[in-house]
C-alpha cells in the first residue's frame, strides 16, 4: 500500500471518528461516563462494607427471636394490633427478630413500629399481616397503615405478605366514584427516616393506596418483592421513593393500578434493576413540582426492566409551575411489550379534577439517557417529549431505541416539543426533522 493511500485511510477514519462530535456538539461519546454517577457505583460495590451489620447479624449467636403469638396475637380474625405493639417493643429493646408465624393471618389496625432499636432487630414475616377493613379505624391520620419509624440497621424479610385489604378504599376513591371528594388513603407500609435498611423476600398485596414507601431514608436495599393489586385499583403505586438517598431496588415483580415505581423529590442515587412491571402506569420519576413546589431528583438508573401492557413505560412527569430539577437519569436495557406511552416526558402533567394552567416556571429536566429500549407501543405515539416551554429539556440522549407498533400494523411516531436531544445508534421513531 502506498504511503499516500495509507494517509488517506487514516485521515478518513479520523474524520469519521470525530465528525460525530462536530455534527452533534451536545453529545460526547463519554457523556454518560462523565455523569457524576461514579460515587453511585462505588456505593453499589461497597454495599458489603456499608451493610456489614447484616453479616454481623447473621453471625450473632444465639439468634434471639420473639413470636407475636407469645404476646397474645391470635390470628383469629380479631384485632391483633396490641399484641404486635407489645412484641415489637420487646424485640426492639432486645435487638431480637420479631417473628410473624407462617400460615397465619393477623389483622392489624394502623400501627407504628418505632425505633431506634438495639442493633440486629429484624422483622421476620412468614405469615400474613392483613389490614383492618374499617375505614374509620384509620382516622384521624388516614395516610398510614403500618409505619416503621426511625429504625436503623434493620431488616424486614421472611417470604410473608402485607395485605392492605384495599377494596373498601378503592370503592370510596374519587377516581372510582367521581361524586366523592378526593381524599388520600393509607399507604400500606411506610419506612420513615430509616438508615441501613434491608427489605427482601416479601409480598405486598391490595394496598389501600401506595404499597410501600421509603421516605427520608439513607442506604436501603430492596430485593425480591412481589407487589400485586388489580390494574384498576386507584393510586396503588408499588414502590414509592421520596427524599431518600442511596436506594437499590432489584429483582421485583410489580403489577398495580398506578406507577410500579415512583421516585419523587429529594431522592438521589436510586438504582432500579431487574424489574417487571404490569399492569400499571410504568416506572415514573415524579410527579414533581406540584403546587409550585421545588423538586430535586438526581442520579437515577433504571436498568433491565420489562414493562407489559402498562399505560406508560419510562416516564418523567412534572406539573406546570414549580422549580428545581431532575437530572442525571438513565433508562437502560428496557423491553416494552404493548405499552401505551413507552417513552414519555410530560411536563404538563395534571392529575386533578380542575384543569391545570400553563405557568412560567417549571422543573428543569436535563441529562437523561435512553439506551437500548426496544419493543412495542400500543399507541401510535411511541415517544413523547412534551417539555416545558419556559424551561426546555436539555441534554436528552437517545441511543438504540426502537419502538414498533404492537401487532406490526400501522406505524409509530415521536412527538417532541421544547427538547434538545441528541441521538446515536438506532432511533426509531424519530422526532420529525423540523423540530430541534
Ligand atoms: C395491547 O394494549 C391495548 C391497550 O392497552 C389492548 O387493548 C390490547 O388488547 C393489547 N394487545 C395485546 C396483544 O395484548
pLDDT, tens digit (0-9, with 9 covering 90-100), for 124-181: 999 999 999 999 999 999 999 999 999 999 999 999 999 999 999 999 999 999 999 9
Q: What is the pLDDT of residues 93-134, one digit of tens each?
A: 999 999 999 999 999 999 999 999 999 999 999 999 999 999
> 314 alpha carbon to ligand 1 midpoint, in Å?
18
Domain that holds residue 360: 259-436
Could you give the angle at the alpha carbon of 226 between the alpha carbons of 225 and 227, nearest 5°? Answer: 110
* Residue 231 covered by a domain: no
Q: Give me the number of domains the chain comprises.
A: 1
| Cell digits of residue 410 | 400501522
Candidates 320, 254, 313, 326; CA nearest to 284 is: 313
Which of 309, 313, 341, 381 is the best mutation target for the ligand 1 pocket, counting ligand atoms within 8 Å of the beta carbon and taking the most?
309
Pocket of ligand 1, beta carbon within 6 A: 309, 338, 340, 378, 406
Q: How far apart are CA 112 and CA 88, in angstroms?
A: 10
Active site residue 240: no
CA nearest ligand 1 atom 12, residue: 338
Q: Is residue 411 part of a domain?
A: yes
Indicate whether 52 belongs to any domain: no
* Atom number, ligand 1, closest to the C-alpha of residue 379: 4
Q: Which position among 144, 211, 240, 281 bears the catalytic label? A: 281
Is 56 a member of any domain? no
Is residue 15 in some structural domain?
A: no
Q: How far apart are CA 285 and CA 300, in angstroms?
A: 9
CATH code, domain carrying 341? 2.160.20.10
In a domain, 373, yes or no: yes
pTM for this model (two decimals): 0.87
Please write the tens of the pLDDT for every residue from 390-429. Answer: 999 999 999 999 999 999 888 999 999 999 999 999 999 9
Residue with CA closest to ligand 1 atom 4: 378
Atom index in ligand 1 nearest the CA of residue 338 equals 1
d(CA 275, CA 282): 11
**H/E segment holding residue 222:** strand 218-228
Rounded to a whole number of angstroms, the distance between the first and last alpha carbons of the chain is: 44
Please check whether residue 110 lies inside any domain of the structure. Answer: no
Amino acid at each position: 500500500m502506498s504511503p499516500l493511500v495509507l494517509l488517506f485511510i487514516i485521515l478518513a477514519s479520523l474524520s469519521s471518528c470525530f465528525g460525530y462530535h462536530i455534527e452533534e456538539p451536545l453529545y460526547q461519546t463519554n457523556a454518560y461516563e462523565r455523569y457524576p454517577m461514579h460515587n453511585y457505583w462505588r456505593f453499589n460495590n461497597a454495599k458489603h462494607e456499608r451493610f456489614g451489620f447484616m453479616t454481623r447479624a447473621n453471625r450473632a449467636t444465639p439468634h434471639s427471636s420473639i413470636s407475636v403469638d407469645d404476646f397474645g396475637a391470635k390470628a383469629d380474625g380479631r384485632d391483633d394490633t396490641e399484641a404486635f405493639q407489645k412484641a415489637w417493643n420487646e424485640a426492639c429493646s432486645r435487638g431480637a427478630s420479631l417473628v410473624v408465624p407462617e400460615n397465619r393471618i393477623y389483622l392489624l389496625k394502623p400501627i407504628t413500629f418505632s425505633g431506634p432499636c438495639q442493633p440486629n432487630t429484624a422483622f421476620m414475616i412468614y405469615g400474613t399481616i392483613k389490614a383492618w377493613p374499617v375505614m374509620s379505624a384509620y382516622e384521624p391520620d388516614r395516610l398510614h397503615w403500618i409505619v416503621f419509624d426511625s429504625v436503623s440497621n434493620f431488616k424486614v424479610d421472611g417470604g410473608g405478605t402485607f395485605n392492605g385489604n384495599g377494596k373498601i378504599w378503592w370503592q370510596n376513591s374519587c377516581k372510582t366514584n367521581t361524586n366523592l371528594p378526593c381524599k388520600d388513603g393509607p399507604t400500606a407500609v411506610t419506612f420513615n427516616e430509616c438508615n441501613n435498611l434491608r427489605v427482601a423476600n416479601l409480598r405486598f398485596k391490595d394496598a389501600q393506596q401506595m404499597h410501600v414507601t421509603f421516605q427520608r431514608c439513607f442506604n436501603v436495599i430492596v430485593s425480591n418483592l412481589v407487589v400485586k393489586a388489580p390494574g384498576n385499583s386507584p393510586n396503588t403505586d408499588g414502590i414509592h421513593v421520596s427524599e431518600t438517598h442511596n436506594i437499590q431496588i432489584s429483582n421485583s415483580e410489580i403489577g398495580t393500578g398506578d406507577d410500579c415505581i415512583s421516585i419523587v423529590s429529594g431522592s438521589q442515587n436510586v438504582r432500579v434493576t431487574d424489574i417487571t412491571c404490569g399492569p400499571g402506569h410504568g416506572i415514573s420519576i415524579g410527579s414533581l413540582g406540584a403546587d409550585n413546589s421545588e423538586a430535586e431528583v438526581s442520579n437515577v438508573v433504571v436498568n433491565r426492566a420489562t414493562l407489559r401492557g402498562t399505560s406508560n413505560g419510562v416516564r418523567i412527569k412534572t406539573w406546570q409551575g414549580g422549580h428545581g430539577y431532575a437530572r442525571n437519569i438513565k433508562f437502560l436495557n428496557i423491553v416494552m411489550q404493548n405499552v401505551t406511552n413507552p417513552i414519555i416526558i410530560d411536563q404538563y402533567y395534571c392529575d386533578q379534577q380542575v384543569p391545570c394552567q400553563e405557568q412560567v416556571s417549571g422543573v428543569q429536566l436535563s441529562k437523561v439517557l435512553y439506551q437500548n429500549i426496544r419493543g412495542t407501543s400500543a399507541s401510535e405515539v411511541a415517544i413523547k417529549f412534551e417539555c416545558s416551554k419556559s424551561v426546555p429539556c436539555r441534554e436528552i440522549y437517545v441511543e438504540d431505541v426502537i419502538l414498533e407498533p404492537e401487532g406490526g400494523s400501522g406505524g409509530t411516531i415521536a412527538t417532541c416539543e421544547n427538547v434538545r436531544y441528541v441521538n446515536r445508534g438506532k432511533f426509531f421513531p424519530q422526532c420529525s426533522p423540523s423540530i430541534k
